[in-house]
Amino acid sequence: MVPELASRAHLTTIGPVVDQALAESGVALNELEAIAVTAGPGLVGALLVGVMYGKTLAWRLGVPLVGVHHLEGHLFAPTLEGEVTPPFVALLVSGGHTLLLDVPAWGEYRLLGTTRDDAAGEAFDKVGTLLGLEYPGGPIIERLAREGDPRRFKFPRPMLREAEQPGPDRFTFSFSGLKTAVLRAVQQSPSLEADRPHLARGFQDAALDVLVGKAAAAVEALDRPLLVLGGGVACNGELVARMRRRLGQDVRVAVASNRLNTDNAAMIGAAGPVPAPARRRQRPRPRAPRRPTFPRPRPHHPSDRTPDMNVYPFALHLGPVELTGYGIMMMVGFLVGGWLITLELRRRGFYEEYASDITVAAVVGGVIGAKVWYWVLNGGPLFSRGGLVWYGGFVGGALAVLLNSLRLRVPVRWTMQLCAPALAAAYALGRIGCFIVNDDYGRPTDLPWAVKFPQGLPPSTAERMQTMFGIPVPPGTDPGTVLAVHPTQLYEVTIMLAAFLVLWRLRLQQRATGWLFSVYLVWAGAERFVIEIFRAKDDRFFGPFTLAQVVSVGLIVIGVGLMARLAKGEELPPGPYLTKTATA
C-alpha cells in the first residue's frame, strides 16, 4: 500500500462512485438529508479526500456533515441486513484492529480489551507471507486449513488462559508470539509445500481459539444476549461457526455478509443517522468535522508510551530459496570489502587479483568459523539448523586469509594492512543485517530512538527478557508485552563506519606495514566491549564479563602490543606475488 497512490485513486474515483450509488439507489442528490464521512482512523491522505468531498457536498446541499469513526461503522454493518439492538458485546477484528467492546447503547462504547502487538488480520496476512501465499493471506489460509491435519502442528494460544478469570488482561490479545511460532515451524519444515495446509490449520485453530475464547468470556461476564462480529476477519466462516457453537442458542451472533464486513461506505452511512454523544453532527464549516471519540487502546508498559517503532524481519524469497536480510548484507559486506582492497591494491600498483584471493578465503573461513563457534556454544546439530557467531567468523576468516597469504608467500603484515579498512566497512554492513533480521538487540530502554522487535530472534517480549537473558522487567508487566530496546546493531554500524573513515584516511600516511591493522583491533575490541554493556544477553564467562567482552579485551591487548611494536617500523617489501603485473 502506497499512501500517496491510494489518495490519488480516491480522488479520481470518489465522484463516479457517488454518482453510481445515487443512480442505483434511485435517490436524487437533493433528497439527501445529511452527509456521513469517515473521520478516522486510516490513511491521512485518503481520509482527507473523503472529508473534503463530503464537506463540499454538504455545503452545496446545505445539509449536516456527520463524522463517523471507522470502527463504529463496522459495528453498524450488521444493521444493514438485520436488527441489532444494544446491549451487546462486539468483537471487531481486521487488519489494523482487534477490539472487544461492551455496547450498552448506541454511541456508548466501553473498551474491554485490545491487542498488545499485531491485529488478528495482520497476523493472518503475515503468516500468509511466511507460507509463501499471495496477499491478502487470510482467505487463502482459511481455504488451506480445510485440508490440514489439526494434530500436525500445535501452536500456542497466547493469553487465552487469562480469559478464564478476572484480571487486567482478561480480554487482552497478543499475536506476535503465535506468528513467531509459525515462523519457527516453517524454518524447521523439511517440505513447506507438503506442510503448508497443516501449518495453515494449526495457525488458524490457535488464532480462532483465542478470538472465540476471549469473546465468549466477555459475553458470559457481562451477561449479554448478543455478540456483534465485524471487520475483515469476520469473513472467516470458521470463526463465525466456532463462535456460534461456543455461545450456543442463548446468545445470538450478528455478523454481516462478507461484502459488508470488509471496509465499505455503506456501514458509514448506516452509522450516520444514529444520534450519538460520541459523534458531532454539524453544518459544514471551513474546518473538518471533529474526529469522533472512540475507545483507544491503553499502554500496558512504560515503554509503550515512548515514540518507538516496530521492526520486523526481512527475507528475500526466490522460489524455494530464502535469503535472510543478514545473509544478504553479509554478501554485500564481502563484496564491498573486496572492492575496497582492490582500490588500495590499485593505488599502490599491486596485483589486483589478490583482492579476490582474500575475499574467497574470508567467505569460506568466516562461514565455517562462525558455524563451528555457534555449535561449540549451543551444541546440537552442526549443519541442519541456522546460527552463526561473529567472533567465530572473525577467527575462521582470519585464519583462512592468513593461510592463503602464506600459501601465496605474501607478507602477512601486508595482508593485515590491506584488510583493515575493509574489515571495518564489512562489519558495519553485517550489523545492518543483524538489525534487519531483528537479532543481537539491546536491553529495554525508554530512549526516543528505542526499537521494538515483535518477531525478533527472539522477540523482545518481557517473558524473553526474563527467561532467556535474566533481565528484570517492571512488576506486573504482562509476559507478552513487546518491550522497546536499545538498537545496539545500529550503534555498532555507526561506530564501525566511523572506524572505516578513520582507517581509510590513515592508510595514506607512511607507517610501518601492518600498523593499520593494530588500530583496527583496538577500535573493534573497544567498540564491542562497550556495546556488550547494552546488549540483551546474559552469558557471563569470567566474573561480570561476557565471552564477547573477554575476547574483546584480548583483541585490544594484541592490538596495543602490535601497535607498540610497529610504532617505529618501516614498510616491508611486498614480495613477488603483489608486484606481479595485471597480465601475469
- Residue 515 resides in a domain: yes
Which of 185, 220, 255 is a domain's end point?
255
Q: Are residues 452 and 345 in the same domain?
A: yes
CA gap 465, 459 in Å, rounded: 9
Q: How many CB atoms lie within 10 A of CB 286?
A: 6
Q: Are residues 281 and 341 in the same domain?
A: no
The amino acid sitting at 532 is E
Q: Are residues 450 and 507 in the same domain?
A: yes
CA gap 473, 460 in Å, rounded: 12
Here the CATH number for the domain that contains residue 216 is 3.30.420.40
- Residue 509 resides in a domain: yes
- Residue 203 resides in a domain: yes
Query: Residue 313 has which C-alpha cell?
Result: 524481519
Show the domain range for 5: 1-81+258-298
Within 151-263, strands assigned E span 226-230, 252-255
Q: For cell 450456543, what's the residue? A: 248
Which of 255, 278, 306 is a domain's end point?
255
CA gap 171, 160 in Å, rounded: 9
Kindly report the average pLDDT of the chain as a whole number: 84
pLDDT digits (tens, 9 = 90+) for 223-240: 999 999 999 899 999 999
Query: Is 158 in contact with 169 (CB distance < 8 Å)?
Result: no
Q: Are residues 341 and 482 in the same domain?
A: yes
Return the bridge partners of 485, or none: 444, 451
Query: Is 211 in contact with 247 (CB distance < 8 Å)?
Result: no
Query: Is 485 in contact with 452 (CB distance < 8 Å)?
Result: yes
- Residue 307 resides in a domain: no
Query: Is 179 in contact with 126 (CB distance < 8 Å)?
Result: yes
pLDDT of residue 313: 66
pLDDT digits (tens, 9 = 90+) for 418-441: 999 999 999 999 899 889 888 889
CA gap 578, 494 in Å, rounded: 33
Q: Is-cis flag, bond preceding 286, omega within 30?
A: no
Q: Are residues 250 and 264 in the same domain?
A: no
In this predicted structure, the answer to whether residue 144 has a pLDDT above a threshold of 60 is yes
Give the DSSP letter string of 44-82: HHHHHHHHHHHHHHHHHHT--EEEEEHHHHHHHGGGGTS
Q: Are residues 379 and 487 in the same domain?
A: yes
pLDDT digits (tens, 9 = 90+) for 66-78: 888 888 889 999 9
Q: Are residues 77 and 157 in the same domain?
A: no
Q: What is the DSSP letter of 305?
A: G
pLDDT digits (tens, 9 = 90+) for 267-324: 998 888 765 544 444 444 434 444 345 554 433 333 343 444 666 666 666 666 566 7
- Residue 417 resides in a domain: yes
Query: Residues 372, 376, 381, 386: what is their CA dihedral angle, to the nearest 10 degrees?
Result: -60
Please give the tally of structural domains in the chain.
Answer: 3
Q: Are residues 128 and 17 in the same domain?
A: no
Q: Are residues 251 and 271 in the same domain?
A: no
- Residue 374 resides in a domain: yes
- Residue 573 resides in a domain: no
CA gap 214, 177 in Å, rounded: 17
Query: Residue 226 has which C-alpha cell?
Result: 448478543
CA gap 452, 308 in Å, rounded: 7
- Distance from first CA to last CA of the chain, Å, rounded? 54
Q: Are residues 241 and 290 in the same domain?
A: no
Residue 367's pLDDT band (boundaries 50, 70, 90)?
confident
- Residue 310 resides in a domain: no
For residue 286, the SS3 value is: coil
Q: Are residues 174 and 282 in the same domain?
A: no
Q: Are residues 271 and 291 in the same domain?
A: yes
In this predicted structure, the answer to whether residue 363 has a pLDDT above a threshold of 70 is yes
Residue 92's pLDDT band (boundaries 50, 70, 90)?
very high
